[in-house]
Structures are given as structure tokens and as C-alpha cells.
Amino acid sequence: MIFARSNRTIWVLAVVALGTALLLLGGALALLLAGRPWDALVVGLLGAVAGAALARLALRLRRGPLGRLALFRDRLVLLSGRLELQATWAEILTATLADHTEWGAASWPELRMTERLNVRLRSGRSFSFRPRHFGLDPAACRDVILRLRDDPDTRARLPIFDSALDLAAHPLHVGDLIRPQL
């Protein structure tokens, strides 16, 4: 099971922005030919705004997913650029959305919840990532990680980790922001 962020919503918005820009610029041209230059200017400016929105969406489409989150029977693998993090389920101590800078200093009512999932390992190491970058709801991603850590029967339904080649060979499961459930 490999998750990645989907661009489906951005594609829909880009198509709508393109259609709106073309419609408004066509209307501006028709108004200009009809001898109404001020009206054509206003509609043309609206078309330019739609074109700017289209340009921003095109830039967002050029950026791919920031990484991959892979869940295997024996480990969690996080790929981000050239960085690869692996943590076996037995090694994961905690997974929380609380701000990790306040863990030792704050009392319970003072904890601040974030969009970043902080994973602490038994070896003392820790890492964090933003589940939304992978198209996952942060709270649901935390719940899945904790459930997989604690439930070997659920982990048995996942594929076995072989090598980095597995990560390249498996297709991505993409969609809009989802709540992963097992």
C-alpha cells in the first residue's frame, strides 16, 4: 500500500480556469468589436485574473508528490526526494500530532496539535512528516500507524517489503484527501 498526493482536484480547477479565461477573453473581444471598449476592458481584466489563476494552477501541477509513504507487513517506509526512512513496527514507540518541541516541557492542557505527524522510535530517534503531502488525513494516518503497530493480524494483510525495487514497481494509490482504513 503506497500513498501519494493526487493532482485530480488541481486538474479540475485548471480546466475550469482555462474555460473561464477563454470565455471571458472571447467576450472581451466581442465587446471590443461591438464598439464598447470600456466594457471590453473590464471583461478583459477578469479574463486576465482567470489566466493568472490558471498559471498558478499550472505551476502546482508541475510539482509532483513530495514523497511516498509505504506501509508493509514488517515496516513503514517514507520516501522524500533522496531521503528514505524505514521503521519496523516493533521499533515505533509513539505516533502523535502533538507539537514535539513541547513534549517534555508542557503539561497536558498546554499541548498544541499540528498537521505534522511525529513518530518516535524505541532507539531514541524520531522523524516527522505531513500526511497531507501524501493525500492522507493526519488523524486517520496516525490511527492507521498505531493500529498497524499494535495489531499483527491487520499487518498480515499488507505486502512484504523486499527492496527499494518494490517501491518503484508498485503502482501509487492516489486520490483526493482520504482517511485510510484497514
Instruction: Encode pLDDT of 57-81 as tens digits.
Output: 888 877 656 677 888 888 888 877 6
**C-beta separation of 167 from 70 below 8 A:** yes
Q: How far apart are CA 145 and CA 119, in angstroms?
A: 9
Bigger pLDDT: 114 vs 22? 22
Encode pLDDT of 13-36 as tens digits.
999 999 999 999 999 999 999 999
Assigned C-alpha cell, 67: 514523497
Top pLDDT among 96 and 80 is at 96
68-175 classified as CATH 2.30.29: yes
Percent of the chain with pLDDT over 90: 27
Q: What is the 3-state secondary structure (H, E, C) of the chain?
A: CEEEECCHHHHHHHHHHHHHHHHHHHHHHHHHHCCCHHHHHHHHHHHHHHHHHHHHHHHHHHCCCCCEEEECCCEEEEEECCEEEEEEHHHEEEEEEECHHHCCCCCHHHCCEEEEEEEEECCCCEEEECHHHHCECHHHHHHHHHHHHHCHHHHCCCCCCCCHHHHHHCCCEEECCECCCC
Least confident range from 13-22, 72-81, 132-141, 164-173: namely 164-173
Could you give the count of Cα atoms lying within 13 Å of 141 in the half-sphere of its Cβ? 29
- For 70, left (φ over 0), alpha (ψ -120 to 50), or beta? beta
Read off the C-alpha cell for 117: 505527524
| DSSP single-letter state for residue 102 | G
Q: How confident is the model at residue 175 (pLDDT cuts 50, 70, 90)?
A: very low
117 beta partners: 129
Domain ranges for the chain, please list them.
7-62, 68-175
